[in-house]
Amino acid sequence: MKNKTIPFIAIITLIVVMCLCLTACTTSIGNPSVTDKDAKLESVQLQAENKTWHTATDVQAEKIFSMMKSIGELSFEAIEIGISGSFTVETEYDHAFKLGYTTGNFLWKKKSDYTYYIGERITYTHSDGKTTGSYKDDKLVVRKSLSKYAATLTESQMSVFEEIFETLNASVMDEAFENVALQARESGYVVESIAKEELVKTAVEAGPGAPFDAEDNLLKGYRITDSAGDNYIFFTASAEWAKEFAEWESVGCIGRVCYIANSGYAGTIKNIIMS
């Protein structure tokens, strides 16, 4: 009887251990700190100017993970909230990325998936219509329900992020721009490429005007003719300049892609760019 009991206990023990291992490998518990010595990178997702998400390259992901570990724990900050009848608050960020990592061992693995924001712009709109606010391009933020955690990036850290996001946006937004023209052709519209030397003249004639440095910042464009008339899309040098262009009446922009379109086709352009 004793000889039969020992193998039975051994089998039960093995089954329990196997179950624990399988459960531990597939269960996420808590939100561990990125500074944990055994933190292991799982994924990095980058948000482009058109709000679509893209997987970072291995090199980009390792750079970001290393920086987050070196920055360490972020400092607590209260979230700015509006006061009814007095002022409202709007918060915008220049960039966003998702960082996923795990800590622990095969018996107890913790997983974290945080969204980080870079470059914080806070705008207060007061009851009299006046606006005030602040902008910190080097601010790193993680937001939670009613709080946020922040740090200030160094110049070298900012340089790394700017290079990563510029590489991403130059590619993603150019593809989105070309996709507008492609889908217009497929829909049977007349699509004409605008010559480089005609870009500024076309932008001024199509809309109410353009910034003085448009010649340096308008890179290429298309004229798309639908049943309601001519529409225009322009690929610009940066999202920052595109915002200046969009301050002119009738000009819209998503990231570094600007457009001047009739009300019926403007929505189509926006949907294509952001898809």
Q: What is the pLDDT of residues 65-81, one digit of tens each?
A: 999 999 988 999 988 88
Q: How far apart are CA 121 and CA 138, in angstroms?
A: 11
Between 84 and 246, whose confidence is greater? 246
Q: Using 50, 70 and 90 to split pLDDT, how confident is the model at 200?
A: very high
- Which contacts (CB < 8 Å, 24+ apart) does range 242-246 have? 244/211, 245/203, 245/210, 245/211, 245/214, 245/217
Q: Which band of pLDDT confidence, cut at 50, 70 and 90, is reported for residue 235?
A: very high
pLDDT at 139: 97
pTM over 0.95? The answer is: no
Per residue in 7-64, pLDDT tens?
Answer: 544 444 444 444 444 444 433 334 567 888 888 999 999 999 999 999 999 999 999 9
The pair phi, psi for residue 170, each rounded to 5°, is -60, -40
User: What CA–CA distance (Å, rounded) separates 230 from 166?
Assistant: 31
